[in-house]
Amino acid sequence: MKLRQLVLATTVAAASLASALVSTVATAQTKEQFFPVLVYRTGAYAPNGVPFANGYVDYLKLVNARGGINGVKVSFEECETGYATDRGVECYERLKGKNGGATVFQPLSTGITFALTEKAPGDKIPLVTAGYGRSESADGGVFKWNFPLAGTYWVAGDVIIQDIAKKAGGADKLKGQHIALVYHDSPFGKEAIPILQERAAMHGFKLSLLPVTHPGVEQKSTWLQIRRDRPDYVVNWGWGVMNSTLLKEAQATGYPREKIYGVWWAGAEPDVKDVGMGAKGYNAITMQHGAEKGSAVVKEVLEKLHAKNLGTGPKDEVGEVLYMRGLFSAMFAIEGVRQAQERYGKGKVMTGEQARWGYENLNLTQAKLDALGFKGVLRPVSTSCADHMGANWARIHTWNGSKWEFSSDWYQADEQIIKPMVRAAADKYAAEKKIARRTPADCQS
Amino acid sequence: MFYRENGQFKTSYRSDQQIFAIAQDRWAILAFIAFAFVGVPFLVDEYMFRAILIPFLILSLAALGVNILVGYCGQISLGSGAFMAVGAYMAYNTYIRIEGMPLIIAILAGGFFATLVGVLFGIPSLRVKGLYLAVATLAAQFFCDWAFLRIGWFTNNNASGSVSVSNLNVFGLSINSPLQKYLFCLAFLVVFALLAKNLVRSAIGREWMAIRDMDVAAAVIGIRPVYAKLTAFAVSSFIVGVAGALWGFVHLGSWEPAAFSIDRSFQLLFMVIIGGMGSIMGSFFGAAFIVILPIFLNQFLPAVGGLFGVSISTAAVAHTEFMIFGALIVWFLIVEPHGLAKLWSVAKQKLRLWPFPH
């Protein structure tokens, strides 16, 4: 009884002390551009979340090493979401007002993107979802605060079919073929379905949909079905542990890896490393960049950060696919602010609202990208009021057993197909939400 | 000294049987509720509202529902996440498919459909008991996950399977600011807590407890197990369904079935076990423990590290958070197996004697 009382008393005391501590540690206001970083370094998807987070943070550090954005230093804070939507929302609420206000959020999860899409307009904070998120948010007329920069899942799906068509010897050869979509059963996985259905109706190939439940380690029945139906191609819309499981199952089933295409979340080193040679020939789409160990920006990160022990994460992972993804997402976050400074005053800290203008008027020419160290990595990206995506180029890369190598030239997604789909989906969203399309006057502001 | 009931004479059955028989309790609780409605809005910031208070209120409501089933009627259920999902999705469908549907009616409709599903999945409870029933209710969880992922109608044929609502309003008042959302949830919680408290004190509540304590004996004295068990399922899933609708509509704004996964069911069950089975108060304690503690640890650990000049990595914080949280659960269960509510009542007992314990 004594012990219990003692322990209880200490708990109460510790709790009150702790709450006092948390409130006093609130940081002082600074003249820095604040970037919240939502990450998932733990949980089932950590193998993919960690390199992304490392790349993102490294680029922000690099910007400071380069002297900031026109002299404005960058500050950041990580918040662990564990890929859970409610924790992501909590992180958003925690970070949005800190250090003078968040510039931009990159939710790094389709579920969190959906939740924040409802909240961000009220708080006037833009959301950048480079290559992921909801595909219809490319329509800036309805989604004023969302920026799926440099590609969406629909672009990815479209380009995968283009590459398959090219391998088959032309789009007309796709008729009567059979493509199986093995997808992660979540909003992320389902994003692929509309574009593949559209293409299937257009070319007359058969599309079968094979969902795999979270987290994706149980795929026996899926592969039984693939073994029975023998589809000509398999598209893998998976992620995390699902990808390596899929490749192992493909190996066990004897399905040729050359005929499997992965989305960009399924095309990085952690996905194939365990399988090694067993994954040789596996293709995945990259939204512009792949593993870019030789690029100028990676060399700069190694020299300015990792050589001085300022880097984030292991040195030998710098330049891997998802690390580059983080780097590239942070680059957009920074360049939007730089663009906004052109209008609202160089060397000033931008608010979220001002940064939004910057993301909407991005004009990253090849010369600018080359100067940032992205020569040969990225193609120009330029956004507008109507088009919040800015570029629809993609490439395919293939795992050769030890590293990813590009196996295709640049593809451009077919705007003829995607534009109407984006518009229809955005209109549906607008009708559901009873919001009107932005007027040309709103675009000017 | 202050907490004494000396001189408070009960002269009627009515006054003897009221919820808070001791005047001090009554006033304290009324003052607390008034403070929650009037005082809190002046004291806390937006972060507290959105990230802590609103989730806490909604999950307290859900825990209250689960407590009726698990704590009062003794039917272990792992389907609570599913009933929340039914509440959220059916409230959504009622809300968008019927033009001009008032928000409150839509949320209650969500609760109504959750009741139907709850009663349906409660039928096995007539034959299976204890852990076997827990496994049977798991079926509800998997079935609902499947239905909301696969059947397009529930999500209004949204390509990604995720649904969202916005521009909520009640009687012409919009529910958009954190304060409005907080008051909206608080009002729901107060009403349902009062209803639940009165239900468990009534005849039906005593039937539930009789079934929990020994169902054969209860049947012998004339309690119909079918009626008692199914009403417990119905009431519980109604409240859980309403909480689910609030979670989707008010807290998340946009959700997918993963928001109501099996993890949510476990979370609710843990709230009830840690808070105290068979106690309305315990639901609040349990929800506070499970909702607030992880968030608190997550911010507290870097702050402690900062004091000693150590920066702890995000991953290390997340891992430590899980470890401390887990250790605390085990510790609380050892020190007080009857939950935090028991601690509360022990404290009240001691207070009655304080400061002269003999």
Q: Which band of pLDDT confidence, cut at 50, 70 and 90, is reported for residue B130?
A: confident
Task: Say if residues B51 and A89 touch (Cβ distance below 8 Å).
Answer: yes
* A435 shares its domain with A298: yes
- Chain B positions in Cβ-Cβ contact with residue A86 (cut-off 8 Å): 55, 251-252, 259
A41 vs B: CB within 8 A: yes
Task: Say if residues A247 and A273 touch (Cβ distance below 8 Å).
Answer: no
Which pLDDT value is given to residue A6?
58
Could A110 and B314 be called an inter-chain contact, meaning their C-beta atoms sit closer than 8 Å? no
One pLDDT digit (tens) per residue for chain A, 445 residues: 455 565 555 655 565 555 555 544 444 445 789 999 999 988 878 888 999 999 999 999 999 999 999 999 999 999 999 888 888 989 999 998 888 889 999 998 888 888 898 888 888 999 999 988 888 899 999 999 999 998 899 999 999 999 999 988 888 889 999 999 999 988 888 889 999 999 999 999 999 999 998 788 889 999 999 999 999 999 999 988 899 999 999 999 999 999 999 999 999 998 898 888 889 999 999 988 888 888 999 999 999 999 998 888 889 899 999 999 999 999 999 999 999 999 999 889 999 999 999 999 999 999 999 999 999 889 999 999 989 999 999 999 999 988 899 999 999 999 999 999 999 999 988 887 888 898 888 887 6
Measure CB to CB from residue A97 to each of B47, B176, B261 and give the nearest one.
B47
* A145 shares its domain with A157: no
Q: How far apart are CA B255 and CA A88, in angstroms?
A: 12
- In-domain check, residue A2: no
Which pLDDT value is given to residue B146?
87
Could A118 and B167 be called an inter-chain contact, meaning their C-beta atoms sit closer than 8 Å? no
* A47 shares its domain with A77: yes
* A286 shares its domain with A179: yes
For residue B315, the chain A residue with the least C-alpha distance is A41
Could B162 and A42 be called an inter-chain contact, meaning their C-beta atoms sit closer than 8 Å? no
Domains of chain B in sequence order: 46-353 (1.10.3470)
Number of domains in chain A: 2
Q: What is the CATH number of the domain that holds A234?
A: 3.40.50.2300
* A433 shares its domain with A326: yes
Measure CB to CB from residue B259 to each of A7, A22, A85 and give the nearest one.
A85
* A342 shares its domain with A365: yes
Which pLDDT value is given to residue A410?
93
Measure CB to CB from residue B162 to each of A25, A94, A114 and give the nearest one.
A114
Give the ipTM: 0.83
Minimal C-alpha gap between A194 and chain B (Å):
7
DSSP character string of A261-317: EE-GGGSSHHHHTTTGGGGTT-EEEESS----TTSHHHHHHHHHTGGGT--SS-GGG
The boundaries of the domain holding residue A128 are: 33-152+292-392+423-444
* A167 shares its domain with A242: yes
Could B160 and A85 be called an inter-chain contact, meaning their C-beta atoms sit closer than 8 Å? no
Task: Say if residues B249 and B164 touch (Cβ distance below 8 Å).
Answer: no
